[in-house]
Amino acid sequence: MRVLWVAVRAEPRAFTVSVLASALYAAMTVTTAQVLGWATEEVVLPAFRSGHTTAGALAGAATAIVGVAALKALGVAGRRFYAGLVQYRMQASYRRAVTRQYLRLPLAWHHRHPTGQLLSNANADVEATWAPLAPLPMAVGVVFMLLIAAASIIATDLAVAAVAFLIFPAIALINVAYQRRLSPVATRAQRLRAEVSEVAHESFEGGLVVKTLGREQDETERFRARAEELRDANVAVGRIRGMFDPVLEALPNLGVLAVLLIGSMRLDSGAMTAGDLVHVSYLFTLLAWPIRALGWVLAEVPRSVVGWERVRGVLDASGSLPFGDAALGEDKAAALEVRDVRFAFEGAAEGGGGGREVLHDVSFSAAPGRTVAVVGPTGSGKSTLTSLLVRLVDPADGSVLLDGVDLRDVRRGGVAASAALVPQQTFLFDDTVRGNVTLGLEVPDERVWEALRLAQADGFVAGLSDGLDTQVGERGATLSGGQRQRLALARALVRRPRLLVLDDATSSVDPQVEARILQGLREAQSAGDGSGVTVVVVAYRKATIGLADEVVYLERGRVTARGTHAELLETSEGYRDLVNAYERAEAEQEAEQQAEQEAGQEIERGAAGGGEEAVA
């Protein structure tokens, strides 16, 4: 009732109209039985006794019956329309609320919750929460109807009323037992719906891994197991409903038989008239279906409560990023400063004893228009640092400042307007090239092409079948890894950020193309109008690192060395070993590719020579 009261308070007018319409339907249902009883007593029986009737009597009976039916239809239409209005408004409102909460919550919260579960929260759980709203006004009207019917039956005959007072409480008790049996089973079915969504989403997201490692059968089996559990849970729900529904359907009909039996004896004794018997009997037949509306509401209540708890779990989640009122600059390259930053993932440590600390007292700065390369071995905290620089997460201690302003003090949307992150794992939508670059930003095509040229993507985009209007497929499936990375870079550049953070964002691009991209960024940094961009790049290639004004070397979450590339090669053994290892790995890879090409050319020459000998 607390859950349903939330909807009543949110939509009081529409709910009140639906209840009033349901009350009209209930009143007309009882009135229908009374009108039929009156017509039987005053029109039908006199016609049988005298052998004829008048047109006025028939017209009066027909008018009364049609008039009551019209009012009853008006009640049905009003109840259904406004009850549906309340239900769909609440579902839409809470879907938006859940989605807005997803946007407010930091990435750390999202990392702890599977995507399939989040989809289920926003869809199936919200739908289940407000499912009882459609039959609720009907159920309220039924209560009203039962009160009117009870008064009408008591006024007609006390003996027949005793039957009603046995049947109706019996229906109520069976409904209570029904809900107690159904509630835990429905709860489990709702939970399994989310689990099936989680498994399906993981399988789709990991489609490349599944296919390349031949895991199709295993994933099918994993999904089958969850799907069969959900099937069994739904079958259990259906089995319980199958046990109780026939009883709930039969009781009102048994009541009709009891009324006819007792009423016929009362009719023989002269204690009641034929019209009274028709009135009461027909009333029981009419009540058989509306009483089930109570069962429909109660049947949806367990799922509603479970759905509400899951939705509230999202809406009550803490950890959203607070915003201040400070504004950042708009034209010139940003000045970046990282002061004594510490960061730990929440609950990452085993045993639940706090999170694993990833960054320890990290400090460095980047002057406007300068390039800083962040270098470090795997697991040193480079990607975590890039998330902090664009405020996807906040540090546990210390601060990140743009233009001397702590990012936590910047107003909503301010950081996104000044800073852009291009991650290593790029994501493209199933949209056109233009749509993926602009993402809703209203910019002319000239500016899109400018960003594509700077990202060295204009050449391949111009060669596509429809240019900027070419559909790239889901996740950019029609493009290579390097092309996807260049489009992601163009997406950031078209916004003309003042701080550009590249998290190994050119790893899939050829070294020559990467050099041209970085040279273009260099030229943008030295723009004569005073604008430009400050660049922080996570890199491992010597060519990339060599273009940076300063290198920050991270090791185990700490800054162990800072300086130019040449300086660190001289002073930092760890840095020297790391970049030399990267260089050797690249050289070996290039040698292998060269050997494969030469072998292929040799095979082609041999095949051509063999063909000439055969001709001779």
The pLDDT of residue 599 is 59
DSSP collapsed to 3 states, 577-603: HHHHHHHHHHHHHHHHHHHHHHHHHHH
Confidence of residue 81 (pLDDT cuts 50, 70, 90): very high
**pLDDT at position 355 over 60:** no
Nearest to 148 by CA among 22, 262, 278, 235: 22
Q: Could you tell me what percent of the chain has a pLDDT over 90?
A: 1
Provide the residue type at 544 as one letter. T
Task: Please answer whether residues 234 and 189 qualify as being in contact, where contact means their C-beta atoms are separated by less than 8 angstroms.
Answer: yes
Higher pLDDT, 471 or 252: 471
Nearest to 66 by CA among 90, 106, 117, 31: 31
Nearest to 496 by CA among 536, 443, 428, 538: 443
Neighbouring C-alpha atoms within 13 Å toward the C-beta of 304: 24
Placement of tokens 């109520």 in the chain: 172
List, for residues 116-163, the tens digit of each pLDDT value.
Answer: 778 878 887 888 888 888 888 877 777 777 777 777 777 777 777 777
Dist. CA 548–CA 371, nearest whole Å: 5
Average pLDDT on 535-543 reads 81
Dist. CA 551–CA 545, nearest whole Å: 7
SS3 531: strand
**pLDDT at position 281 over 70:** yes
Q: Could you tell me what percent of the chain has a pLDDT over 70?
A: 86
Residue 69: CB atoms within 10 A of its CB come to: 13
**pLDDT at position 78 over 50:** yes
Task: Please answer whether residues 553 and 560 qualify as being in contact, where contact means their C-beta atoms are separated by less than 8 angstroms.
Answer: yes
Q: What H or E segment, with its residue span, contains residue 612?
A: helix 573-615
Dist. CA 390–CA 106, nearest whole Å: 12
Dist. CA 125–CA 51, nearest whole Å: 64
The pLDDT of residue 349 is 37
C-alpha distances in Å from residue 533, one per residue of 332, 498, 527, 536: 7, 5, 9, 10
List, for residues 503-516, the tens digit of each pLDDT value.
Answer: 876 666 666 777 77
Among 164-173, 345-354, 364-373, the range scoring the smallest mean pLDDT is: 345-354
Nearest to 479 by CA among 430, 407, 445, 521: 430
Dist. CA 438–CA 449, nearest whole Å: 11
**pLDDT at position 364 over 60:** yes
Confidence of residue 444 (pLDDT cuts 50, 70, 90): confident
Residues in contact with 55: Cβ distance below 8 Å, sequence separation at least 6, in sequence order: none
The pLDDT of residue 45 is 79
Dist. CA 457–CA 468, nearest whole Å: 11
Confidence of residue 607 (pLDDT cuts 50, 70, 90): low
pTM above 0.85, yes or no: no
Task: Please answer whether residues 200 and 149 qualify as being in contact, where contact means their C-beta atoms are separated by less than 8 angstroms.
Answer: no
Buried b (16+ CB within 10 A) or exposed e, 562-588: bbebeebbeebeebeebbeebeeeeee
Confidence of residue 493 (pLDDT cuts 50, 70, 90): confident
Average pLDDT on 521-539 reads 69
The pLDDT of residue 351 is 38
Dist. CA 340–CA 362, nearest whole Å: 5
Phi, psi of 430 (to 5 degrees): -75, 75
Between CA 326 and CA 331, with CA 327 as vertex, the angle to 5 degrees is 160
Instruction: Pinpoint the alpha helices (H) of 526-564.
Output: 542-546
Task: Please answer whether residues 226 and 199 qualify as being in contact, where contact means their C-beta atoms are separated by less than 8 angstroms.
Answer: yes
Dist. CA 325–CA 331, nearest whole Å: 19
Q: Is the dihedral of CA 411, 413, 419, 424 positive or negative?
A: positive
Average pLDDT on 14-34 reads 85
The pLDDT of residue 359 is 86
* Residue 464 burial (10 A CB sphere; 0-12, 13-18, 19+): middle
In this structure, the dihedral spanned by the alpha carbons of residues 118, 122, 128 and 129, taken in order and rounded to 10 degrees, is 110
The pLDDT of residue 290 is 65
**pLDDT at position 592 over 80:** no
Higher pLDDT, 215 or 308: 308
Backbone angle region of 76, left / alpha / beta, with phi > 0 → left and psi within -120 to 50 → alpha: alpha
List, for residues 254-276, the tens digit of each pLDDT value.
Answer: 777 887 788 788 777 777 777 77
SS3 99: helix
Average pLDDT on 210-230 reads 83
The per-residue pLDDT of the chain, averaged, comes to 78
Dist. CA 214–CA 303, nearest whole Å: 38
Confidence of residue 473 (pLDDT cuts 50, 70, 90): confident
Average pLDDT on 457-475 reads 80
The pLDDT of residue 352 is 40
The pLDDT of residue 529 is 46
Dist. CA 521–CA 527, nearest whole Å: 10
Confidence of residue 583 (pLDDT cuts 50, 70, 90): low
Dist. CA 319–CA 112, nearest whole Å: 12
Residues in the chain: 616
Average pLDDT on 21-48 reads 80
Placement of tokens 């459609």 in the chain: 134
SS3 393: coil
**pLDDT at position 414 over 70:** yes
Average pLDDT on 477-498 reads 82
Q: Is the dihedral of CA 302, 304, 310, 315 positive or negative?
A: negative
Q: Which two tokens stand for residue 343?
A: 């960061």
Nearest to 142 by CA among 303, 300, 298: 298
**pLDDT at position 222 over 80:** yes
* Residue 602 burial (10 A CB sphere; 0-12, 13-18, 19+): exposed
Average pLDDT on 214-222 reads 82
Residue 604: CB atoms within 10 A of its CB come to: 10
The pLDDT of residue 301 is 76
The pLDDT of residue 407 is 86
Average pLDDT on 524-542 reads 70
Dist. CA 266–CA 272, nearest whole Å: 6
